[in-house]
Structure 1
Amino acid sequence: MLKRLFPALNWMSDYKKSDLSGDLSAGIIVAVMLIPQGMAYAMLAGLPPVIGLYASTIPLIIYALFGTSRQLAVGPVAMVSLLVLAGVSTLAEPGTEEYISLALLLMLMIGLIQFLMGLFRLGFMVNFLSHAVISAFTSAAAIIIGFSQLKGLLGISIEAENVLLVIWEVINKLTEVHIPTFVIGIGSILLLVGLKKAAPKIPGPLVVVGLSIVVAAAFHMDSHGVRIVGEVPKGLPTFSMPAFNIDSIMALLPIALTISFIGFMESIAMAKAIAVKEKYKVVPNRELVGLGLANVAGSFFSAYPVTGGFSRSAVNYQAGARTPLASIITAVLIILTLLFFTGFFYYLPNAVLAAIIIVAVINLIDVKEPRYLFKIQKTDGWTWVITFIATLAIGIEQGILFGLAFSLVVFIGRSAYPHVAELGYLRKENVFRNIKRYPEADVHPEVLIFRVDSPLYFANMTFLENKLCEAVGERPQTKWIVLDFSGVNTIDAVAIHALEEILKSCGKGEIRFKIAAIKGPVMDLMKKAQWDEKFGDHIKYLSIEQAMADIEGEG
């Protein structure tokens, strides 16, 4: 029981000394990676850089204690940072005390939403966000993130938020580009990309941060107009309560729900991928609890929303992490940084942080996915395109809602027009198959065998009636209808009532019917509707073969 409540007891009680070296090296490497990333992502979220470091301490420890993934690296991520900026900037000016206060409240709300979803086993709800929607949203958001960093990269002020307007504003302000800032930014991007290709094991962001600080300090770049991070508060965050305000809570609720879902989707996808390789199980609802508690705890220590990140989790895993102790080691190292080394970041140019963000999000742009989707299923491809365009043109929150709405419309449309088929008998193979795909299949002149490949509910019964009566109309000699229900997993009360009417109306009582391969849950509902009394043995056939044998016996 205790191990269910505190998953950390599972790995703590069985911890092996042989795992320590891997956890230690992974913890150090991720800390080295997370320090510059955390500061950069905090600035992307419209927050002071130090809040990114705060978000890399307590939340990591809490998740390590309550999460079920052994290698997931929790912390600030680009996507969530952008969503925080998109949601909170409508209520307060980024960087202000009010803005920070709202960000803390948002983190608490996200934590409570995720925790309650996990507690009440509502993790399945994120399944309504299709992969096409997530891929398109992620790609569009990555582009928005990249363009949002142009002001830091070029050293100019940009007021526009829409990507096209940002491009237009940059073109009009090309003469205002601050050359030293631009050189630092482009140089940082080239160095980051070069190190990633030539020496992937070297922590590129830390190298770039270190070199840029040395150069900026040596040449006093801040006196030449290069914007630097400046004073980073020393010490650990103090305990504080987020400011509760019902109006703020209602205003932040849509973005809190969005981040809760998107953050969990990103986290669980990576956690499952690693768990499959390592042959252990992650529990989605327990993951929600772990992430929820991490966000709740972080909101009391001046952090901002966190989730499991793709790139850092991959690095954590590849660096040898065997247990969540690696994440605890990462958090301890960042705590030491906050206590003793924040002064080191004084001369860090903002352009370097912009470069780190741009390089980090480039890999989020997925150009292969839409091609694949169009190749396999065009409606999924259009879902991707519409979500992508809506996110770029309308906005972050609206884009994903638009994509979700469109994907649900597509799903409803598919379920309202299910696949049905008339079956014939293949003697050599001894199976019944769709006569459109197997025209050589034998068809009994007086028996119509009709298969339904979908759950039946009120919205698709009219379609089924039309198709069934159409098939009977083409076969006026039909005396029997055999319904193959092997593909019907569920049925509702309205569908049961409608099916009775269909069976009566198709042949006006002249055609008899049999239903084969009814699944247990469907049969239970039919019995509640007294079908076993109304239709007797006509619904108890385990297979089409049994029904056909009975028809031939009666014939």
Structure 2
Amino acid sequence: MGVNSYSNSMKIQAEIQMPPLEIHKVRLPPERTTLQKLRHRLSEIFFPDDPLHRFKNQTCLIKLLLALQYFFPIFQWAPLYNLSLLRSDIISGLTIASLAIPQGISYAKLANLPPILGLYSSFVPPLIYSLLGSSRHLGVGPVSIASLVMGSMLSETVSYSQDPILYLKMAFTATFFAGLFQSSLGILRLGFVIDFLSKATLVGFMAGAAIIVSLQQLKGLLGIVHFTNKMQITPVLISVFKQRDEWSWQNLLLGFSFLLFLLTTRHISLKKPKLFWVSAAAPLTSVILSTIFVFILRNKTHKIAIIGGLPKGLNPPSSNMLYFNGPYLALAIKTGLVTGILSLTEGIAVGRTFAALKNYQVDGNKEMMAIGLMNIAGSCSSCYVTTGSFSRSAVNYNAGAQTAVSNIIMASAVLVTLLFLMPLFYYTPNVVLAAIIITAVSGLIDYQAAYKLWKVDKLDFLACLCSFFGVLFISVPLGLGIAVAISVFKILLHVSRPNTLVLGNIPGTPIFHNLNQYREALRIPSFIILAVESPIYFANSTYLQERLDKATCRLVICECLVHFKYFLEAF
């Protein structure tokens, strides 16, 4: 019986032997100089799409046309534009305008800026993006995350209530540096920098920021006058309960009524996507109804704070307010870099999401240049940081937008509002703006994504938690910095300690798979085949050598045990 088992094992080993090897001659690569190798390597890193290949062997006129199409994507689709596309873009543009107007006012207050700046930021940047951007569905304007970060970072040093001129200078200068940073990434083709903001980092950051934003809106919902400027959860909650004598039941009743209305409409749109217009029209409907209500009862609602007078007219120039020297320049640069990275990440992610749904390409480098240049222009025209908004883009997509003309239509509607309709917002209550903000940021809390991170990668989940609690208990920029540091550490860990897999052969095939995942895979006798999930270089060479030595020792021990077992069974 022992001899039979031994002979059977030899047959199994013979069955899994590979076919005889064939010798093929491999031609050596052509010799190149060091300069040629360096140029080829840099070209693969920074110009993998070879943007100049279309210009080869073309006439000067064709080259000029191709250059215009490359730098201004509008020249690509404008010759094919027709009335059918215009009709769709008008409908979608007016739809997102109904969302952009109340959002612009609300997000400006979130950044501790005058509400009118939110409307200014919904006029000039969309026009510039429509010329330079490559996305057909991106709805451009202020976003909650960038507004929150700018407001929190600037307010730690400069107070708008105490020195509004300096605060505006800081906001415009930070916007300028955000645009300069964004456009530089596109021009130098360094977009891979934003990839360090991993999905796990953003999930935790946005959830923490959403909670902080919502708690900050308790000032408006409760009618508190004296409220903390800090952005951590502890001082915010202390301020809320410390000022209980300032709570107003009128604000509480009005605010939670409209908050319930907004959340209900949002729930309806999520359950039935065809009713997207219900959620899109809800903010403007809330503003109109609350304004009428406060106007009618203006003699009985003294405790309900209102926006007040807003100036009419086009964006005033603000280039003379840019701050390029002085003690606060470092603050403006730091704020610009942080808000620039966040807004760029959101804009490109949103643009690529909707491009994938319609099966067209969004050029990341062009998007960086477009978003950067529109922020540089915005800083000179009384705008603060803008990018592609997920809520506006979703409404724009569902409303049937076909091209970037929808942004032009939206900007035109905002222009009409700026020129003729500003007095109508005089009695708009701040409590409704707070309800709009809470509804908008509530969608940023993605607990399902956090649960998936826990199931897939515990280290990613740790980065998510650090980002979340860092934002809640330390500060918004430091919480983001901690999460980015953990993400970079994870990258270094994977590079220096790569996963190694022991492979086995699938009988009857030349295919090798992981022994732990494929039961039918069999190990080649007297050999150990390792798959290293990383390039091999100095950072992980020592670690891999140690793993290889251990695996070799295990192989020798296993072979000895197997042969000893066969020997015992044979005798």
With the shorter chain as reference, the TM-score category is 0.7 to 0.9
Which of 131, 134, 137 is the aligned partner of 1:65? 131
Q: Are the equivalent residues in 2 in contact too, given 1:445–1:477 (CA < 8 A)? A: no
Q: Find the aligned partners of 2:299 and 2:165 in 1 and give their Cα distance.
A: 28
Query: SS of 1:224's equivalent?
Result: coil
Pick one of 246, 250, 272 that aligns with 1:180.
Answer: 250
Q: Using the alignment, how far apart are the partners of 1:418 and 1:100 within structure 2?
A: 49
| Distance across 1 between alignment mates of 2:156 and 2:557 | 69
Change (3 A) 1:53 1:383: same
Sort the Cα spacing of 1:132 and 1:441 in 2 relative to 1 into closer, same or farther, 3 A: closer
Match in the other structure for 1:234: 312
Q: How does 1:67-216 map to 2 (within 5 A)?
A: 67-94=133-160, 96-156=164-224, 157-159=226-228, 160-197=230-267, 200-202=276-278, 203-216=281-294
| AA at the equivalent of 2:488 | L
Other-structure match for 2:101: 35
CA contact (8 A) 2:200 2:460 kept: yes
| Contact 1:27/1:329 (8 A) holds in 2 | yes
355-364 or 155-164, which deviates more: 155-164
Aligned partner of residue 92 in structure 1, secondary structure: coil
Q: How does 1:337-348 map to 2 (within 5 A)?
A: 337-348=417-428
Deviation at 1:217, TM superposition (A): 1.1
Q: Take 2:285 and 2:501, find their aligned partners in 1: how far apart are those partners?
A: 63
The alignment partner of 2:538 has SS state of: coil
Give the CA RMSD over aligned residues.
Answer: 2.1
CA distance in 2, matches of 1:441, 1:231: 75
Partner of 2:322: 243
Report the number of matched residues.
479
> What TM-score results when the alignment is normalised by the length of structure 2?
0.80
| One-letter amino acid matched to 1:341 | L
- The change in CA–CA distance for 1:475 and 1:243 in structure 2 (over 3 A counts) is closer
Q: Distance in 1 between matches of 2:167 and 2:511?
A: 67
Answer whether contact 1:448 1:478 (CA < 8 A) is retained. Answer: no
Structure 1 residue identity aligned to 2:169: S
Q: Give the Cα separation in 2 of the matches to 1:136 and 1:74.
A: 24
Distance 1:221 1:415 in 2: 68
Amino acid at match of 2:324: N
Hey, what's the Cα distance between the residues in 2 that align with 1:358 and 1:444? 61
Contact 1:142 1:365 in 2 (8 A): yes
Deviation at 1:437, TM superposition (A): 4.9
1:257 is the counterpart of 2:337: yes
Give the whole-Å Cα distance in 2 for the aligned partners of 1:97 and 1:221: 33
Cα displacement (A) at 1:441: 5.2
Letter in 2 for 1:137: F
The amino acid across from 1:150 in the alignment is: L
Whether the 8 Å CA contact 1:295–1:305 is kept in 2: the answer is yes
Following the alignment from structure 1 to structure 2, what is the Cα–Cα distance between the partners of residues 348 and 439?
68
Tell me if 1:466 matches 2:546.
yes
Does the residue aligned with 1:460 lie in a helix, a strand or coil?
A: helix
Q: Distance in 1 between matches of 2:127 and 2:362?
A: 18
Deviation at 1:245, TM superposition (A): 2.6
Deviation at 1:222, TM superposition (A): 7.9
One-letter amino acid of the counterpart of residue 470, structure 1: K
Residue 448 of structure 1: how far off its partner (Å): 3.9
| Alignment partner of 2:358 out of 278, 297, 300 | 278
* SS of structure 2 residue aligned to 1:230: coil
Higher relative contact order (CA 8 A, sep 6+): 2
Tell me the secondary structure at the aligned position of residue 341 of structure 1: helix
- The whole-number CA distance in structure 2 between the counterparts of 1:278 and 1:161 is 39
> Which amino acid is the alignment partner of residue 319 of structure 1?
A
Q: Distance in 1 between matches of 2:303 and 2:557?
A: 90
**Offset of residue 429 of structure 1:** 3.5
For 2:267 and 2:555, the matched residues in 1 are separated by 67
TM-fit CA distance, 1:342:
0.4
The amino acid of 2:356's aligned partner reads: V
Asked whether the equivalents of residues 446 and 478 of structure 1 are also in contact (C-alpha less than 8 Å), the reply is: no
Aligned to 2:434, what secondary structure does the other structure show? Answer: helix
Residues 277 and 395 in structure 2, CA contact (< 8 A), matched pair in contact too: no
Q: 1:218 matched to which residue of 2?
A: 296
Query: Measured at CA, do residues 219 and 437 of structure 1 come closer, stay the same or move farther in structure 2, by a change above 3 Å?
Result: closer
Contact 2:169 2:323 (8 Å CA) reproduced: no
Alpha carbons 1:39, 1:53 under 8 Å: kept: yes
SS of the residue 1:454 aligns to: coil
- Determine if contact 1:70/1:324 at 8 Å carries over to the other structure: yes
**Matched residues in 1 for 2:115 and 2:346: separation?**
23
**Residues in 1 aligned to 2:314 and 2:521: alpha-carbon distance in whole angstroms:** 76
Once the two structures are TM-superposed, the CA of residue 338 in structure 1 deviates from its matched residue by: 0.7
Q: What is the CA–CA distance in structure 1 between the aligned matches of 2:517 and 2:411, rounded to whole Å?
A: 60
Question: Is the aligned partner of 1:403 residue 2:473?
Answer: no
Q: 1:16 aligns with which of 76, 82, 85?
A: 82
Q: Which amino acid aligns with 2:241?
A: I
Cα shift at 1:345: 0.5
**CA offset at residue 443 of structure 1?**
4.7
Equivalent residue for 1:545? Answer: none
Instruction: Report the counterpart of residue 517 of structure 1 in structure 2.
Output: none
> Unaligned regions of 5+ residues in structure 1, if any?
480-555
Q: Secondary structure at the match of 1:451?
A: strand
Q: CA deviation at 1:476?
A: 4.8
* In 2: Cα distance, 1:194 partner to 1:439 partner: 51
Q: Distance in 2 between matches of 1:188 and 1:49?
A: 20
Quote the Cα distance in structure 1 between the aligned partners of 2:354 and 2:517: 41
Cα 1:39/1:221, change in 2 over 3 Å: farther
Q: Does the Cα contact within 8 Å between 1:222 and 1:228 map onto a contact in 2? A: no
Q: Give the corresponding residue for 1:489.
A: none
- Determine the C-alpha separation between the residues in 1 that align with 2:518 and 2:399: 54
Preserved CA contact (<8 Å) 1:447 1:478: no
Find out whether 1:322 has 2:390 as its counterpart.
no
Structure 2 contact 141–387 (Cα < 8 Å) conserved: yes
